[in-house]
Structure 1
Amino acid sequence: MPNKINIIFVCLGNICRSPLADGLMLHHLKERGLTDHFHIDSAGTYAGHAGSRADERMRQTAKKHGVELLSIARQFTVEDFDHFNYIVVMDDSNYQNVIRMTRSESDRSKVFKLRTYDNHQSNKDVEDPYYGGMQGFENCFDVVDESVNNFLNDLVQQNNL
């Protein structure tokens, strides 16, 4: 299928929130039989974790909910604007970091916060669970799952899938 919908999820280190969003989107696409219509990736605005798997606590949390996180951390690059239709960031800081890299209004129009798709369209940050306890990972899972599902529902409707 030549015209795939290309989505990249972006957080700081690409080891907690964006790999979760990546994994949840892939999980929901598989459940709905829509994987052939999409290309999903994730990246971080910070390169310090490049080459690493998702944080063990995030993988544990996802696994508990039947979701496998397979992504390998990498840094977001300017070239990603050329490859992705949607650049979905997790918080204001990531938003600003990505926006600073834009080259055009077209690039800029692709960038938005994931929580514009939560049930309240709150546009809040997806809180980073990295420095907290396991409850923070559970909370992150719930927020990201809700937002990813709503985003996918919107894409399915827009694209008549």
Structure 2
Amino acid sequence: MSSTELVAQTSASSSHALQVQTSRVLPDANQFLTFRVGAEEYGMDILRVQEIRSYEQPTRIANAPEFVKGVVNLRGVIVPVVDLRLRLGQSGEYNEFTVVVVLNVLGRVVGVVVDSVSDVLELSAEEIKPRPEIAAAMDSRFITGLGKVGERMLILLDIEGMVASPEFGLVN
């Protein structure tokens, strides 16, 4: 039984969005939004997620890096949209499963493009293993650990650290 619900809402622009609402949380458990990038499944702290939106082509910004897809107007707030797939060394097509996870990180609203969103999982401290110390395409300092749920293995991201890093190019 999960203590988090995803509630579907329709915004004024007729695009579908999921608002994330949290309720009672067990003191020794962490909640993660799970999503896919390529064949890998990732998790990020649910408390950083503001909403989940279907992908709409953002307004491109001149001379922006390839992974910065542009900006969107989200109820009067200009939100930069970054393709997390490109930042993680993957590529992906934009289809009906592609979504933008809108994050509130360090007082800033940022959208990240992922292949799909799976669900919200609650993991106890025992279900989270330390990150491996191996060379990887992604800087391991942004991996907080690995979550194991049954046969599923999740790569848990420090999304706040990742977005705040100079490599991401969004936060000064």
Q: Per residue, is there more strand in 1 or in 2? A: 2
Higher relative contact order (CA 8 A, sep 6+): 1
TM (normalized to structure 2)? 0.27
User: Whose radius of gyration is greater, 1 or 2?
Assistant: 2
TM (normalized to structure 1)? 0.29
